[in-house]
Amino acid sequence: MYQYDQLDQAFVDQRVSEFRDQTRRFLAGELSEDEFKGLRLRNGLYIQRHAPMLRIAIPYGLLASRQLRKLAEITRRYDRSFGHFTTRQNLQLNWPKLEEVPDILEHLASVQMHAIQTSGNCIRNVTADHLAGIAEDEIDDPRPYCEIIRQWANLHPEFTYLPRKFKIAVTGSPADRAASEVHDVGLHLRRDAQGNIGFQVLVGGGLGRAPMIGQVIREFLPLPDLLSYLDAILRVYNRNGRRDNIHKARIKILVKAMGIARFRDQVETEWQAARDAGPVLEAAQVERVRSFFQPPAYETLQNIDTCAGREPEFQAWYRYNTRPHRVPGYRAAFVCLKAHGQNPGDMSSGQMEAVAALADRVSFGLIRVTHNQNLLLGDVRQSDLYAVWKELRGLGLAMPNIGTLTDMIACPGLDFCSLANAGTLNVAKQIQAQFDDLDYLYDLGDIEIKMSGCMNACGHHHVGHIGILGVDKHGEEWYQITLGGSVNGFTALGEVIGPSVPQAEVASTIERIVEVYRAEREDGERFIETFRRVGVKPFKERAYAAHSKAA
């Protein structure tokens, strides 16, 4: 992975010292709440319901074991011995003390990490496919380009005070495991006829209050032009994006208002005018960054039958919680943060330490964070998988439900977040309890539930096969359900199926919905495929069946 040189290190160290001074001035009354807000947000610090929340950047979801160990140490020392992994591959601390945040940032800097621009109206942490570098269908490893973007975005002088937040995702595979089409900018790696690397560029995607799918602004952007073209998009946005209404300030609203053709023309004009003066990405620079992402020292191995003679529990784990690897003899193994009874995405300090040690032993000391709120050991020898499973099982991290209904995404919701209208963690627990039978889960197959506690859609509910949105109804927590959303190379926004339901009825409503699928599905059809074939109608009719009987 990327290693800081003394210049990168100087930058984060100076950033910590700046924030320490800003925090000191705030506590001394020299900075108002409002003045401090813009500064702390750009260092990942929110003021939440119970305490501040600190969002730590995990650029493109890649962690070294020493970094995960440091996160364990930080969560134990400065928080309540756990952290929450998010859909943007970051880690949130829910209970840090404001006055200790500069110390936390100093700890992070000591392992080449930071919390820079994880909140605020600026360019956020850049995310990528969690199978980057190992996926069989990959065109090129997106992580070097993510790192180049990370550096370009950090304290970008022109784009630190944008109309609204700005999220970029890069994917190297057609399967798009990074939800790139619902980002402000999505970059899809491509090769031209000569084999040169470039990007298909999408702009104007995003969830939140007005969900939209990104549109293609450029079919092929040559790699050397990456930063100058991003500069042009950001400049057009910075100058023209709305600043009068926070709900209409994302780039998606600007793109929609202008139309993609006009927006494209403006970006093109800006880009052509700035190109000579703008940053060109020299081959040497790309090569330097790329050199940090060379494949680890794989052994020459054959694929083996890992499951032969093993117990059914291991076989289930192998089937659901591991993924193919491009190198023979290796596989990727999920560290599942979706055990029933657990908050999705939460991980204890002890689990972090154990997984760091495990990664050192079996996966070249590297851990990936997925946008589905799990971790992944990317490079496990197939012959090690059985031992890895046993160890993960002992840690409570081997629930064999990846890709099933209970591998759901959930934001922290009303329990922690001051923006939320409704709780998500209770609902998650109810769904886990309702669907606790693994055979039933396996029969239902690939179903993605995504849940958000408010319209800001941190839980990506619009693109869940089943989306759940918490709403406030006269002080009570109700939930609106959508069906048919998806990402992963076929992005679609879900349709609302009808009136919202009270908290106690969410899990049973979902059960009725999946029963419609079971009744309607044809051979081998996944939930989303059945939905696309039969439409929303049968689901609408039967999701509320119990109500009409009762009424």
Partner 1 sequence: MRHILRRRELVTDDWRYAGEDGADEAANAALVVPFADFRTHIAKWRAYPGRLGVRLSPADAVEDLAEDIQRLSLVAAEFPTPGEGRGYSQGRLLRSRLQFKGELRAVGAAVKQDLLFILSRCGFDSFELAPGQKVEAALAALERYSVAYQPAEPVPSIRQQRYRAAG
- The amino acid present at 411, given as its one-letter code, is C
Q: Is-contact 222 271, C-beta < 8 A?
A: no
What are 139's two structure tokens?
Answer: 């065109």
What is the binding site for partner 1 (CB under 8 A)? 5, 7-8, 10-11, 14-15, 17-18, 22, 34-35, 38-39, 121, 151-152, 154-163, 235, 238-239, 243, 273-274, 277, 279, 284-285, 288
Q: How far is the CB of 230 from partner 1 (least distance, A)?
A: 11
Residue closer to partner 1 by CB (options 50, 247) is: 247
In a 10 Å sphere around its CB, with 0-12 CB exposed, 13-18 middle and 19+ buried, how is residue 528 labelled? Answer: buried
Residue closer to partner 1 by CB (options 277, 550) is: 277
Residue closer to partner 1 by CB (options 159, 478) is: 159
Q: How far is the CB of 124 from partner 1 (least distance, A)?
A: 15
Q: How far is the CB of 250 from partner 1 (least distance, A)?
A: 15
Q: How far is the CB of 154 from partner 1 (least distance, A)?
A: 5
Residue closer to partner 1 by CB (options 161, 490) is: 161
Q: How far is the CB of 271 from partner 1 (least distance, A)?
A: 12
Distance between CA atoms of residues 292 and 50, nearest Å? 40
Q: How far is the CB of 92 from partner 1 (least distance, A)?
A: 23
Residue closer to partner 1 by CB (options 239, 319) is: 239
Distance between CA atoms of residues 403 and 447, nearest Å? 7
Residue closer to partner 1 by CB (options 227, 417) is: 227
Q: How far is CA 344 from CA 87, 88, 211, 432, 510, in A?
A: 11, 14, 23, 10, 18
Which uninterrupted H or E stretch holds 409? strand 409-410
Residue with tokens 């020292």: 297
Residue 386 DSSP class: H
Residue closer to partner 1 by CB (options 122, 366) is: 122
What are 111's two structure tokens?
Answer: 């392992």
Please give the distance of CA 260 from its chain centroid, rounded to a whole number: 26
Residue closer to partner 1 by CB (options 196, 269) is: 269
- Per DSSP, the three-state class of 417 is coil
Q: How far is the CB of 220 from partner 1 (least distance, A)?
A: 24
Q: Is-contact 211 493, C-beta < 8 A?
A: yes
Residue closer to partner 1 by CB (options 284, 297) is: 284
What are 202's two structure tokens?
Answer: 């999408």
DSSP strand E in 79-214: where? 82-85, 91-93, 127-128, 168-171, 185-191, 197-203
Q: How far is the CB of 471 from partner 1 (least distance, A)?
A: 28
Q: How far is the CB of 188 from partner 1 (least distance, A)?
A: 24
Residue closer to partner 1 by CB (options 165, 381) is: 165
Task: State the SS3 of 37-58.
Answer: HHHHHCCCEEECCCCEEEEEEC
Residue closer to partner 1 by CB (options 39, 98) is: 39
Q: How far is the CB of 96 from partner 1 (least distance, A)?
A: 21
Pick the closest to residue 208 from 469, 497, 423, 540 (CA basis).
Answer: 469
Distance between CA atoms of residues 308 and 18, nearest Å? 57
- For 434-501, the DSSP string reads HT--HHHHHHH-S--EEEESSTT-TT-GGGSSEEEEEEEETTEEEEEEEE--B-TTS-BPPEE-SS-E
Which uninterrupted H or E stretch holds 323? strand 322-324
Q: How far is the CB of 38 from partner 1 (least distance, A)?
A: 5
Residue 422 DSSP class: S
